[in-house]
Amino acid sequence: MTALRNIHLYTNQRWQIALLMLAITLATATCKTTNETTYTNLAAHYQPDKETAISGIRIFHETDSLTRVYLQYSTDGLLYRQPPNMDFLQANYRISYQLFSSYESSTVLDEQKFEFSDSLFATSPAMLTFDFTVRAFAPETYLLQIQFTDLNKDESVLYPRMIYKNSPDNGQNFLPVDENGAIVYTDCVSWKTKFNVRTNRRDLGKMVVSYFEETFPPAIPPFAGSHPAAYRYNPKKITLLPVANGQSEYVQYVREGIYHFQLDSTQREGLTLFRFHDDYPEVTRAQQMVEPLRYLTSNAEYEKLRLAVDPRQAIDSFWVATAGNPERATELIRDYYSRVQYANRLFTSYKEGWKTDRGMLYIIYGAPSTVYRRQDIETWIYGRQGNRVFLRFDFIRAINPFTNNDYELQRDPQFKEQWYNAIYFWRQ
């Protein structure tokens, strides 16, 4: 066995896009002088009050030289203005991309711009989809820098994504599509989701689906010196999923766990979809509220909560005792579990987002003020350097077959004091 370290319904709306798209401008370039991604603050992606337009991105390799990128985005938040001498409101926005060989490269390998005008959804925001192709050649890896620009606001948001053409077996060679023909943009599926998986392998007769049912512990404190226990790739069940003309049979998973789709069972790469509890990423049940309290409680307190006959009453008692009065307890509960749910949306990897290193810090410290991303490295900054309160956390992407969204915190004993100060703040 190989030891590993750490391991949403929309119909196809292309006809709407056709109505929305008054003009499409395509521009291709081969050389630029700078790559600004590494120096761009991406913190808006992690701030609930600054939620960005694009909510889903799915990358699918159609051929060895062509990759299609599917986007899901909302018109909510776009600025609609009344054009001169017109009696309607109109939004103007642009979706563009630049392709680099890496975060460190300044040479643009491919570039396009798509400009849209919309008057249909000025008063009733909608979730729309759009896709485009990128010239990306195997067996290389690339940085795709997607940009969404509200032209009326003159505001842009970057969405950096890696394109992995270095393997014919990795997850970007699979495309999950639901029974209505809509792309499944999230790697977390519910028991209601009926879908098939498409591949670029028209000759494929079957896929291997490995099922894992392990549950994983929450992240350990940022100052802890040890790493979580190594995870061993040991599926509980392996099934064969029939495939014809590049499309699998439809499946629907009720049992919670990890479902790993592979083209070749001798490899460890593939597409992984996760079945967590039915309400995920929301927190709706008492037991789901107990578990994230592990970050705030002592061992004895947590065990008492976990074993309580009435978990809801135990949770209420904990928060009232912590807050001092029911009114502040209600405020703390709202704030804490809002962060838990947002962590689930942002940081889900092979385990629930709140259990990850980034999820843990997000819950306790809140959204970072600055986020920088480089090749396999993400940096969070709270405060400003030189101030009394300044924290910097570096995360390294962990390599495993299940997800590219698994980042491991570089722990340091120096974080201990700040960590307990933050816990004290929550409990006072």
Beta strand 127-135 with 66-74 is antiparallel
Output the pLDDT for position 38.
Answer: 73
Output the pLDDT for position 7.
Answer: 32
- How far apart, in whole angstroms, are the C-alpha atoms of residue 271 and residue 59? 12
Output the pLDDT for position 14.
Answer: 35
Q: SS3 of 305, please?
A: helix
How is the beta sheet containing 407-409 ordered, strand by strand? 370-374, 377-382, 391-397, 407-409
- How far apart, in whole angstroms, are the C-alpha atoms of residue 50 and residue 76? 12
Residues 130 and 92 reside in one and the same domain: yes
- How far apart, in whole angstroms, are the C-alpha atoms of residue 172 and residue 404? 11
Residues 131 and 193 reside in one and the same domain: no
Output the pLDDT for position 229.
Answer: 61
Residues 45 and 161 reside in one and the same domain: yes
Domain limit, last residue, from 151, 166, 181:
166
Whether the upstream peptide bond of residue 368 has omega within 30° of 0, thus cis, is no
341 contacts: CB under 8 Å, gap ≥ 6: 281, 282, 283
Determine, yes or no, domain membership for 22.
Answer: yes
Output the pLDDT for position 399.
Answer: 85
Determine, yes or no, domain membership for 229.
Answer: yes
Determine, yes or no, domain membership for 86.
Answer: yes
Domain limit, last residue, from 211, 244, 275:
275
Cα distances (angstroms) measured from residue 238 to each of 182, 208, 210, 265: 27, 7, 4, 10
pTM above threshold 0.75: yes
Residues 145 and 212 reside in one and the same domain: no
The alpha-helical segments, DSSP class H, found in 191-325 are 286-290, 299-306, 311-323
- How far apart, in whole angstroms, are the C-alpha atoms of residue 362 and residue 345? 12
Determine, yes or no, domain membership for 269.
Answer: yes
Output the pLDDT for position 2.
Answer: 34
Determine, yes or no, domain membership for 118.
Answer: yes
- How far apart, in whole angstroms, are the C-alpha atoms of residue 186 and residue 195? 12
Per-residue pLDDT for the chain (428 aa), expressed as one digit of tens each?
A: 333 333 332 333 333 333 343 333 333 333 344 466 677 899 999 998 777 799 999 999 999 999 999 999 999 999 999 999 999 999 999 999 999 999 989 999 999 999 999 999 999 999 999 999 999 999 999 999 999 999 999 999 999 999 999 999 999 999 999 999 999 999 999 999 999 999 999 999 999 999 999 889 999 999 997 666 666 788 999 999 999 999 999 999 999 999 999 998 888 899 999 999 999 999 999 999 999 999 999 999 999 999 999 999 999 999 999 999 999 999 999 999 999 999 999 999 999 999 999 999 999 999 999 999 998 999 999 988 667 778 999 999 998 889 999 999 999 999 999 999 999 999 98
Decide: residue 203, CB within 10 A, 0-12 exposed, 13-18 middle, 19+ buried: exposed
Number of domains the chain contains: 2
Beta-bridged to residue 74, according to DSSP, are: 127
Cα distances (angstroms) measured from residue 251 to each of 15, 97, 162, 239, 247: 28, 34, 28, 12, 12
Farthest CA pair distance, the chain = 70
Output the pLDDT for position 71.
Answer: 98
Question: CATH no. for residue 141?
Answer: 2.60.40.10
Helices (H) and strands (E) in the chain, counts: 7, 20
Residues 219 and 113 reside in one and the same domain: no
Domain limit, last residue, from 275, 296, 331:
275
Q: Provide the residue type at 290 as one letter.
A: V
- How far apart, in whole angstroms, are the C-alpha atoms of residue 47 and residue 53? 13
Residues 152 and 234 reside in one and the same domain: no
Residues 159 and 179 reside in one and the same domain: no
DSSP code of 188?
B
Range of the domain at 233: 172-275
Please state the separation of Cα 361 from the chain's center in Å: 16
Determine, yes or no, domain membership for 200.
Answer: yes
Determine, yes or no, domain membership for 351.
Answer: no
Phi, psi of 409 (to 5 degrees): -70, 140
Residues 59 and 160 reside in one and the same domain: yes
The three-point CA angle 308-310-313 to 5° equals 105
* Residue found by looking up tokens 């938040």 in the block: 77
Residues 52 and 176 reside in one and the same domain: no
15 contacts: CB under 8 Å, gap ≥ 6: none
- How far apart, in whole angstroms, are the C-alpha atoms of residue 95 and residue 355? 33
Residues 19 and 101 reside in one and the same domain: yes
Residues 211 and 117 reside in one and the same domain: no
Query: Tokens at residue 292, please?
Result: 């994230």
Residues 25 and 142 reside in one and the same domain: yes
Determine, yes or no, domain membership for 78.
Answer: yes
DSSP code of 229?
P
Output the pLDDT for position 393.
Answer: 97
- How far apart, in whole angstroms, are the C-alpha atoms of residue 390 and residue 39? 19
